Structure 1
Amino acid sequence: MTPELTVSFLYFDGCPLAPKARDNVLAAIDRIEPGIQAHFEEVDLMAPDTPDDIKRWGSPTILINGEDIIGAERGSACSCRLYASDGGVPTTREIVAAIDRTRFG
């Protein structure tokens, strides 16, 4: 059985950090070792069909198999989100490390 990951990119249109965060997520997925399948999904936090509990994350948020890459919890409402990383978004290296933690525990 091929191991699978679901990488969810949560954002809202107009978020100034979303484009760079998306680029870093996609670059991290490209670095996943062969044999690991990663399903990438984008979730617009403002879309009417987005579940309310998902709308409580900030933009941008990256979830791997439903877990936040830095272990943060949902907020009380949709908001902007800044990470401690340079530029306010997780680096590709940080995302790869989160993927590895998910895979290897």
Structure 2
Amino acid sequence: MNISIETKEKDHLTTVDISGEIDAYTAPKLRESLFHLAEKKESVIIINLSEVTYMDSTGLGVFVGVFKNIRSNNGQLRLLGLSNRLMRLFEITGLSTIMDISSKIEGEAK
């Protein structure tokens, strides 16, 4: 049960690469890393989930909280690189209809 979070900030754009598992054990670390970013006014956060091997409802809760925070600060959140399994989680919960989500990474062949 490990998670790695790498953040790169430049002006109002922040990219976050996450790898490992997002569950009840690792979600607090993820929440801590993302929530302060979401509180910045008009920021854009792009989160790469292509290396996430597992996520449970606790992880979904973190992303819902980040999404609400960033929207209330006139920012944007984009999730990239979701596996079929992760995409299905967001679809089942209806989050895929309100969040900007893509299974492809920018620059990938279509």
- TM-score normalised per structure 2: 0.29
Name the structure with the higher strand share: 2
- TM-score normalised per structure 1: 0.30
Name the structure with the higher helix share: 2
